[in-house]
Chains A and B, each alone.
Chain A
Amino acid sequence: MNEMLTITIDGVECTCQKGEYLYDVATRNGIWIPVLCRSDAFDDHRACCRICIVEVEERGRRKVVTACVYPIEQECTVYTKSEKILEERAVIMALLAHRAPDSERMAEMNKFMGRSGFDRLISVDGEKCILCGLCVQACNSLGTGAISTVLRGTDKKVDTPYGNPSAFCVGCLSCANVCPTDAIEYTQTDTTRTIWNREFDLAFCEECGSLMGTTESVRHAAGEDSEVPSVCDACRKKKLADEMMQTYRYV
């Protein structure tokens, strides 16, 4: 059993295990901290959006940390709404809103921060991506690794290697679905889907005709050594149940 600690967040006493992330403790205790680059789906957090900053006071010393990856190692007092945090979070949010002016969600969140003085900032034309990296994490977690962040500094972006259609992409849309700003575009016709500059054939269930994904994504999901299924999960279960029924009826 891990050592237990008691900490104070915005005046609320919270118990937690030593080493637990501050964000998890706060959330469990009903204290809201905004996050953008953190997802429950992954164990690792990139800690790159910085929107989750809070102030932590340990042994009389106060510092700004990112709650999503800050491990609680000792007793401390946490402030999630100090003047410093509200100001700096608002600046970060304003930076993101100007980074991704085409994202409605960023514009809304920016408004919600309620601070002004940012009219002077320049906008990155036509941009929606806030570089949270969740898409890259999603793709990596599937074992496809088709996209990554490329270039550095202000030119950094998410892309396939050299912007070419990736041989590893299976067109599964996991990246697009996890994206908080709907920045990843794809198009779909009756029979094909195009994402990251690559066109995929769609795969439909032989029983019910519903969309199963792309042929590549269905093959990838089945795993290397398994047969590629031709029916969707629901129909496969139904078929299995029917077969069982048949079997029992004749016993």
Chain B
Amino acid sequence: MINGTERILVCCGTGCIANGALGVADAIQKELDARGLADDVKLDVSVVRTGCSGECEQGPIVRFMPRDLMYYRVKANDAAAIVDSLEGEPVQKLLFKKDGQTYEHMDDNPFYALQHKVVLKDVGVIDPLDINEYIARGGYEGLKKALTMTPDEIITEVEKSGLRGKGGAGFPTGRKWRTAAGYDVFPKYIVCNGDEGDPGAFMDGSTMEGSPHAVIEGMIIGALAIGAEEGVLYIRDEYALARDHIQRAIDAAYEAGILGDSIMGSDHKLDLSIVRGGGAFVCGESTALMASIEGRVGEPRAKYIRSVQRGLFDHPTVLNNVESLASIPTILRDGGEAYAQVGTERSKGTKVFAMVGKVKHTGLVEVPMGTTLRTLIYDIGGGIIDDRPFKAIQTGGPSGGCIPEELLDLPVDFDTLVEYGAMMGSGGMIVMDDRSCMVEVARYYVDFLCEESCGKCTPCREGLRQMRAILTDICEGRGKHGDIELLERIGRTMQDASLCALGRTAPNPVMTTIKFFRDEYEAHIERKECPAGVCAKLTQFAIDPEACTGCTMCSRACPAGAISGGRKETHVIDPHLCIACGSCREACRFNAVLTERRPA
């Protein structure tokens, strides 16, 4: 029996939209209309289009509240069955299943069970475009409290929380605010960094899409703390949906008297506006970002005078990451001490990660700081696809490192991984199995930075150019004795002497793969062999006639038409046509595609 309120949450995050979520939402709405349920005044049944629910790979996701039934991989033609199940039995085929078990509720699903949501607490639960839904779940209460406090009291609360910047560097937010508050130079600015340029990352984009008011509330509280009356959200060029949701949330906040000349009736004021990102990874760096806002080329400058003192237009400026700011409302509402209850000694609270790659359940997760990589990959992520051996996890994007199996039990926080030459970074995580070549991975990131750095300073620009050339040589069988040592020499110089943190961290993927996977470099250089069977110039493919079932998956995947063999016949690769792309190996479910060293 439908008794009263029934909210049908349809995930309309970027991932689910790509899988047809908008069609699902419309179909369910139509079904409700057709049955007269939407208009029934005794009932309150509604379709709510939410932000990312987290487990994107299983999307589109539909969830009923308050009953908490969660459906996965929903299609528009499931609408009738879904509406039927508002009363009575859940639709079995849409429930989450793992190891023979079926999960009805979100929190039973191991993907969600181990999470702890602060930043994402409303993402996937509310309609991000409805300010009242945010307020109904405690939104803007942190701000209300902040308005009764002095700037010093606000900052003390943030200090108590132990919050550290989640954009990657981990600088204590409270300390940053206190320094900025100490300068009597006006105007001051508060800037939100929503540039998120790491390949594979979508934490900040999802937060802005799914809970834009949390970011705005965080900015208002920050502005009160430091004495800023103007703020800017710098949002990545590609994030059209995030920009749209933030803009509409800003408009709603003005309308509700939360932004503008009198914040919630007080004599504080704040204006917020959006600036579209400059379109390069380097634009997320603080000084490049500010140059870009000022209308100049997005190039970093030497940072011996910090932006808290002389930032935007040479005025005191606080720049914070989306996730840092979205943590602030909860800290103010529930107190800094409550926030500091979770996490580790030196890294408090939670961290959002975007987990992608060869892990079974990819998506957006938020866990207490200090959670181990093993928990993230195996308990939450469900392990490696096809249960292949784990090889490495790349954390922190192009500035991060590749972490091997033996370090999976390390707690993930700001400091631990750094001791091993890697870093947690802003939260991007790419899981790799035994079919990833670590030299190729390093080459990929170096290549990315060759285009996405600004090119202003010598170590970074020229160091990356040389690293790319050497790594390409190694991958293509032209590696020379001494290449590893030269890569390390260039890398160390880049780490010490580059102008900005991009160049200073750019060698990390190279240095960590050398450190943890040196034998793989040596195999490429000394034996001209790619052990993972990835580097095309060093690898040849063949099909094991014993294992081949003649399923035709490989021949259908082959872009070169190199595989012959009919259904139920053993398939054969023509080495003259094969371009060594590896698609057949990915496609084969029977491990029948073998790789071996290509003779010179």
Contacts and interface: CB of A to CB of B under 8 A. Distances in A.
B282 interface: yes
B153 to A, nearest CB: 31
A117 interface: yes
Interface in A80-133: 84, 87-88, 91-92, 95-96, 98-99, 117-118, 120-122, 124, 130-131, 133
Nearest to B489: A91
A47 B469 contact: no
Nearest to B465: A154
Given A120-B482, A154-B455, A156-B461, 4 more contacts: A92-B458, A121-B466, A149-B299, A153-B454
A127 to B, nearest CB: 11
B483 A91 contact: no
Interface residues of A, number: 39
Interface in B441-486: 449-459, 461-466, 468-470, 480, 482-483, 485-486
Name the residue in A47, A49, A64, A154 with the highest tally of chain B Cβ atoms < 10 Å from its Cβ: A154
A66 interface: yes
Interface string A40-73: 0000001111110100000000001110011100
A12 B457 CA distance: 30
A245 to B, nearest CB: 53
9 contacts: A49-B457, A88-B492, A117-B482, A117-B489, A120-B480, A122-B469, A131-B455, A133-B456, A154-B464
Interface string B419-460: 000000000000000000000000000000111111111110
Contacts of B302: 47, 66, 69
Contacts of A120: 470, 480, 482-483, 486
Contact of B451 (A70, A130, A152): A152
Interface in B199-242: none
Nearest to B453: A153
Contact of B497 (A53, A96, A99, A121): A53
Contacts of A84: 496
A154 B486 contact: no
**By DSSP majority rule, is chain B's interface helix, strand, loop, or mixed?**
helix
Name the residue in B455, B486, B489 with the highest tally of chain A Cβ atoms < 10 Å from its Cβ: B455
A98 B496 contact: no
B525 to A, nearest CB: 12
B462 A98 contact: yes
Interface string A10-44: 00000000000000000000000000000000000
Nearest to B485: A117
A47 B499 contact: yes
B498 interface: yes
B458 A152 contact: no
A154 B482 contact: no
A156 B456 contact: yes
A88 B493 contact: yes
A87 B305 CA distance: 27
Name the residue in A65, A88, A149 with the highest tally of chain B Cβ atoms < 10 Å from its Cβ: A88
A155 interface: yes
A48 B499 contact: yes
Contacts of B463: 95
A190 to B, nearest CB: 39
A207 to B, nearest CB: 45
B456 A149 contact: yes
A99 B458 contact: yes
Contacts of B492: 88
Name the residue in A148, A149, A153 with the highest tally of chain B Cβ atoms < 10 Å from its Cβ: A153
B497 A71 contact: no
A156 B450 CA distance: 10
Contacts of B485: 117
Minimum-distance CB pairs A-B, first 10: A156-B455, A95-B462, A91-B493, A64-B496, A47-B302, A88-B493, A48-B457, A154-B450, A69-B302, A122-B469
A167 interface: no
Contacts of B449: 153
B466 A95 contact: yes
Contact of A71 (B305, B458, B459): B305
Contacts of B282: 152
B256 to A, nearest CB: 41
Given A149-B297, A152-B282, A153-B455, A50 B499 contact: yes
B542 interface: no
Given A65-B304, A152-B454, A98 B497 contact: no
Nearest to B448: A153
